[in-house]
A and B are shown apart, each in its own frame.
Chain A
Amino acid sequence: MKMPDEMPPLGPIDPGQLPLLKAPDSIWRSIEAALDAKRKPRTNLFAAWRWATAALVVIGAVSWYATRPELPSWQVSRLEGSAAVNKIKVGEWLQTDGNSRARITVGDIGVVDVEPNTRIRLVAASSTEHRLTLARGEISATVSAPPRLFLVDTPASTAVDLGCAYKIKTDEKGDGVLRVTSGWVSLEWKGRESLVPAGANCRTRSGTGPGTPYFEDAPQALQQALAAFDFGKGGEESLRTILSQARVRDTLSLWHVLSRVEPRDRVRVMERMVELVPLPAGVVREKALQLDPAALKSWREELAWKW
């Protein structure tokens, strides 16, 4: 190739001022070669690695899915109606309609019967905790297990199994009732605790939690006064009725009321309790009035012989 030996012109160049030269063939060949190279499919290593990586990801995902640990679950059987579920896993909900009843087998420790119009969720199913959430409706639980292993949360309480059989009912707000038929249950909510033995009931209310437990055969006036005392700001009138209506067996209710009245009223409650059942030898009156946990526990254990 030979280029003109002249100096380039100074200043603007007008069209036609530059000479036209034919490009050598070698240039066209090299351009075509370069264009061909671009047009060829790229069978390079990068593309191969992309496919290999994708394949590995897919294989990994399938393997994980196939061998992943199964979420704990409990068996569900239909008692009535159209409940078609046969298993409930941790995190899942079970809901019955107005005509359906179902039975959940709680691991190897018991059963929970789910009544119509009930919504319930399995929260935990481990060796240290079996836990359900009852959003609304009613269940009957029969459990043979160490205390505090089986728990049911409702919107206004947690029913802690202390070795028992019971029914618990609640609406979406948390208004409901617990009825214990065997053993006993601790009904807990934000530091408030009600111990409910067999034959006793305990109401729950939204915003308050568990009320005072009472025996099913307690006088109606006592039951109503307890409801007013717990949830209706019953005040002095309800307390007076509670104290006058309580029988020996109702020391169950009085024992709970003792720690829920104003300090100035504690002596009145205690005097009524002692009137019904003499203070046991091992319980110091002053300690009980100060709500000393050990004194209250000893007293409760002795009172339980009268329940």
Chain B
Amino acid sequence: MEMVKTTLLAVVLATASASGKDFSLTIGNPVAVALPDGVNPVVKKKDAGMAVRVENCADVASSHVTATAEGIVNGARRSVPLRLVAATTLGAYAVSRDWPWEGAWVVHLTGHCGASTASAVVPFGPNGFIREASKFFPRAATAAEVEAVLKTLSGGAQ
């Protein structure tokens, strides 16, 4: 009996662990999200720098995402909190492009689903986000990881 209990517990923990590992963020073109009627058109697609959605979250309704723009402008480090506008699809958001056009910028996204956390660091070029250079983490990105992507971008940009 004790062995059965132990086995069951192991299975439950393994499932939970696997489910937690699968939680992630997907980024996309702003056109991927439909925003509800009544949202100010100014914060609609034109001003959305990108879209983000949570993946593999058992309780999407309770999930949430935060975003900041991290940049270097004229050699000075800047940080700008970003607005997220919830889309008509649960767990999907338009990320407002609230950072200046000059300088080098990455968007740091962090998502939470229950106890699980996932994050992404997304560099931006003149034509929008650069998918190929984006980094995704099954946990919160460290400050060093954000700085590394920013450094690569600003080095390439200058």
Contacts and interface: CB of A to CB of B under 8 A. Distances in A.
Contacts of A216: 127
B74 to A, nearest CB: 23
Interface stretch (B10-18, B24-32, B64-72, B115-123): B24-32
A306 B30 contact: no
B128 interface: yes
Contact of B29 (A143, A165, A197): A197
A59 interface: no
Interface residues of B, number: 20
Interface string B21-43: 00000111111101000000110
Interface string A219-241: 00000000000000000000000
B86 interface: no
A183 interface: yes
B28 A198 contact: no
Interface stretch (B46-54, B106-114, B134-142, B148-156): B46-54
B21 to A, nearest CB: 20
B83 interface: no
A152 interface: no
A145 B41 contact: yes
Interface in A61-115: none
A301 B29 contact: no
Contacts of B32: 301-302, 304-305, 307
Given A198-B128, A305-B51, A183 B45 contact: yes
Nearest to B40: A144
Which secondary structure dominates where chain A touches chain B? mixed
Nearest to A307: B29
Interface string A130-166: 0000000000000111110000000000000011110
B78 interface: no
A307 B29 CA distance: 6
A165 B101 CA distance: 14
B77 interface: no
A198 B29 contact: yes
A249 interface: yes
Interface residues of A, number: 25
A204 interface: no
A180 to B, nearest CB: 9
Contacts of A181: 127
Contact of B41 (A146, A165, A198, A307): A146
Contacts of B44: 146, 163, 183
B132 to A, nearest CB: 9
Contacts of A163: 41, 44-46
B46 A304 contact: no
B131 A165 contact: no
B127 A144 contact: no
Interface in B69-85: none
A184 interface: yes
Q: Which 5 pairs show the lowest CB-CB distances between chains A and B?
A: A304-B32, A305-B28, A163-B46, A307-B29, A183-B46
18 contacts: A143-B46, A144-B42, A146-B41, A162-B45, A163-B45, A182-B46, A183-B44, A183-B46, A184-B31, A195-B31, A197-B30, A198-B29, A198-B30, A304-B29, A304-B51, A305-B26, A305-B53, A306-B28
Interface of B: 26-32, 34, 41-42, 44-48, 51, 53, 127-128, 131
Given A183-B44, A305-B29, A305-B51, 11 more contacts: A147-B41, A183-B30, A184-B31, A197-B29, A197-B31, A198-B128, A199-B127, A216-B127, A301-B32, A305-B26, A305-B53
